[in-house]
Structure 1
Amino acid sequence: MRVTLLGTGDTTGTPTICCDCDTCAEARRRGVERSRFSVHVENERTGESLLIDASPDFRQQFLDHEVPLPDAIVISHIHFDHLDGLGNAYRLFDDLPVYAADEVDPVTEESVADTVRSKYDYLDRITVEDVTPFETVRMCGLDVTLVPVDHPPLVCYGLTVEDPETGAKLSLSGDTSYGIPAESREVLANPDLFLADAIVPASLCEYHPIGGKDENEDGVPRTFGSKHMTREGALELADELEADVTRLVHTAHFYPVDEAFEEPLAVDGEQYDL
């Protein structure tokens, strides 16, 4: 199972358009991209590949990285930076299965799957497949399980991808606070590779309108605001899950420049063979 990080940034990416902050300037100097979030998983045994989230940067990601177009896509939630790349299905695919959760969101009064159907009803190239959280579904010869996480006010899902023959396991936290339910943590546990949402370091919580929460015993916030983990929270979660390798994703250009390119923050184009 080959995992390629196509997009490792948050909703604006790094470098951010028209931003002259030190971090964006250094990213340009280094030639580093953190485009909007997307992960490519290739099953080298079957020659099939799965895309996790459809970034608005879909076109450039597939031009920049030598990976095949996906045979299926999983959508974690309906925020534009994880969904709007589906428009690229036009002229690229004859029939593309798109998997999404079937739980009804009390805010939108429809499931993620239903939102994808309604938003892309003009695209006859995609077929939306409903997935029930905690129920494993075989996609591209790999076993995928969606798990609820905490990304208010909308429902959002993390997931695992496992190779049924080798036992290799990839876990993604999804966009989430540190407050992931215990049942979901059990599913995410013991991955070979863990991709964890870590939007900013905990030191920046003082600049958020509602600060941070989920403080550890040393008073360090593990959640920035209410929707995303801090770097410190993501690393603590990785330790709890006993991840072999952890990469921090969905990171923002607000990281101070002397921290923005340190391990284990990921950048676009990283590949892992599990």
Structure 2
Amino acid sequence: MKVTFLGTGTSQGVPVIGCSCEVCRSVDYRDKRLRVSVHLQVDGKSIIIDSGPDFRQQVLRERIKTLDALVFTHEHKDHTAGLDDIRAYNFSQNKDIPIFGEQRVLDQLQREFAYIFADYKYPGIPRVELNPIQNEPFKVEGVPFTPIRVLHYKLPVLGFRVGDFTYITDANHINHEEKEKIKGSKVIVLNALRKEPHISHFSLHEAVDLLEELQPEQAYLTHISHLLGQHREVEPQLPDFIHLAYDGLQIEV
């Protein structure tokens, strides 16, 4: 499996509009963070988890020519707002794009992108195939996915395990039963918003503690805000097996 981090930023991205902190002024490319998303190339399939507002820019940057499916963790706009841009793949592949999400997430998409699902189809709109999922294993174009139930404050969100790779974003609590599904993953991606505690995201300290409990071979932190600090300063402070992800980072699992 090849994993590409399309975006590793929080809902505002980094730099933040109007901010002049040292992170937002940084010229280090690793401190430039688009909204969070990840691309999986596995078993010959091209699968993206979440299509935020920067979706078009991300897939152009990574030259992603095909899209076999789109999987959603939850319904917040920084994870869904780019759905309209999949129509380029409709045109090039001449097929509807399967999208996967919990029923309430699909319902939200149908409200926010009502024109996609209207009885009268305006020419050129995105074409999708809805696939409701629950907190039980499912397949995306033949690729097995195991959902991981996490909480984003009080909102239930899904992370996903694909083989030896587990991806979790927008979480601040994972119960014992769900942790058992993660254990044994060689690579874990986990959100770490900032150093200070937050109501709906793991802090850096909380994320590191959880990863030390789960003990993957390698771990990467994502959904990072400008309040975490500069990449070059934070990375050396982490345990050897934990790294800050950055936009464009590619790993093999």
Q: TM-score range by the shorter chain?
A: 0.7 to 0.9
> SS in structure 1 opposite 2:70?
strand
Counterpart for residue 252 of structure 2: 273
RMSD (Å), alpha carbons? 1.8
The CA deviation string for residues 200-258 of structure 1, in whole angstroms up to 9 with x for no partner, is 11xx3xxxxxxxxxxxxxxxxxxx23200011111111122221110100000012346
- Answer yes or no: is 1:51 the counterpart of 2:48: yes
Pick from 111, 117, 132: which aligns with 1:118? 111
Rounded to whole Å, the distance in 2 between the matches of 1:182 and 1:268 is 31
> SS in structure 2 opposite 1:20?
coil
1:62–1:69 Cα contact (<8 Å) kept: no
Counterpart for residue 159 of structure 2: 158
Rounded to whole Å, the distance in 2 between the matches of 1:245 and 1:67 is 25
Closer, same or farther in 2 for the Cα pair 1:127/1:78, shift >3 Å?
A: same
Identical amino acids, percent of aligned pairs: 30
1:112 offset after TM fit, Å?
Answer: 1.7
Counterpart for residue 18 of structure 2: 18
1:50–1:74 Cα contact (<8 Å) kept: yes
Equivalent positions of 1:84-123 (< 5 A) are 84-93=81-90, 94-102=95-103, 111-123=104-116
Tell me the number of residue pairs that the alignment of Structure 1 and Structure 2 aligns: 233
> SS in structure 2 opposite 1:160?
strand
Equivalent positions of 1:1-274 (< 5 A) are 1-26=1-26, 29-32=27-30, 33-43=32-42, 45-46=43-44, 48-93=45-90, 94-102=95-103, 111-123=104-116, 125-133=127-135, 135-162=136-163, 169-177=164-172, 179-201=173-195, 204=196, 224-257=197-230, 259-260=233-234, 262=236, 264-274=243-253
The CA deviation string for residues 141-187 of structure 1, in whole angstroms up to 9 with x for no partner, is 3211222211123221111112xxxxxx111122111x211111111
TM-score normalised per structure 2: 0.86
* Structure 1 portions without partners, runs of 5+: 103-110, 163-168, 205-223
Rounded to whole Å, the distance in 2 between the matches of 1:57 and 1:183 is 34
1:49–1:68 Cα contact (<8 Å) kept: no
TM-score normalised per structure 1: 0.79
* More off after superposition, 113-122 vs 258-267: 258-267
Rounded to whole Å, the distance in 2 between the matches of 1:120 and 1:98 is 13
Moved over 6 A (4+): none
Rounded to whole Å, the distance in 2 between the matches of 1:161 and 1:171 is 6
